[in-house]
Copies of this chain bind each other. A is one copy, B any other.
Amino acid sequence: MSPVHLKARKGEVASNAVLAGDPGRIRLLSRLLTNPRTVNTNRGFLVVTGERGGVEITLASHGIGGPSAAIVLEELIRLGASNIVRLGTAGGVTANPGEYLVARGAAYLPGGLYEQYLGRLSYPAAADPSLHLALIDEVKKRGLPAREGVVYSSDAFYAENRLDASSLAGLGVAGVEMECGAILVIASIRGARAGCVLMISNKLGGAFLPTRAIGDMALKAGDAVMAALSRLGR
């Protein structure tokens, strides 16, 4: 099926892509690009393609939640993306506000989207190893405070009070966010490489860092993410 939601055409999407939930973050990150052109605004998904350090890169907002991110991911892959990083925010379980969490995998509740793709199987939502290590390397090289870990991809922001943070911590879950599970599973099925860099915006259930602080974190991480993507061959 050709893309239904993104109106970009083949050739307008680069093989390297950075995704974020919020179109505002995409606008912000586009400052890092040379010659940015907006290739989609349909359905509110902002997609911008430009260059960074001579390498073509596409930035795209995927909205909130696995079902929305899955659509954007599927359509970007159909349009040519093959190395994909989500640069989002997460609530900290063991990770702390202001830190970066490079997620090597995501836990999720089965059912819904996962059951539609996978039937009854529990499939590994895992970062591509090469991309993951490149992300860690570039983040650390810039002296950003970072850790590696597993995230829990929640589907219900306003029902997370039901989550038991100590159980999650006991399983090595460092943070909670909403899209990595779907992105990592679908990229793996489609043969694309994916990774996730998350900015810890708050302790789970606690107060959020100011928007400006998160914006600063995003620009620094964006530089690292784009550098990591550039290191991968197609």
Contact = CB atoms under 8 A, between A and B. Distances in A.
B124 A106 contact: yes
Nearest to A65: B67
The binding surface of chain A is classed by DSSP as mixed
B167 A116 contact: no
Nearest to A117: B159
A112 interface: yes
B24 A66 contact: no
A115 B155 CA distance: 9
B109 A156 contact: no
Nearest to A121: B107
Nearest to A73: B158
Contacts of A113: 112, 155-156, 159
A63 B64 CA distance: 7
A222 interface: no
A115 B126 contact: no
A122 B112 contact: no
Interface string A116-146: 1111111111111110110000000000000
Interface string A23-64: 110000000000000000011101000000000000001011
Nearest to A70: B156
B1 A22 contact: no
A11 interface: no
Given A171-B118, A188-B105, A66 B65 contact: yes
- Counting from the closest, the 4 A-B pairs by CB-CB distance are A111-B111, A65-B67, A105-B124, A126-B126
Interface of A: 1, 4-5, 21-24, 42-44, 46, 61, 63-68, 70-71, 74, 104-130, 132-133, 150, 152, 154-160, 162-163, 167, 170-172, 178, 184, 188-189, 191, 208
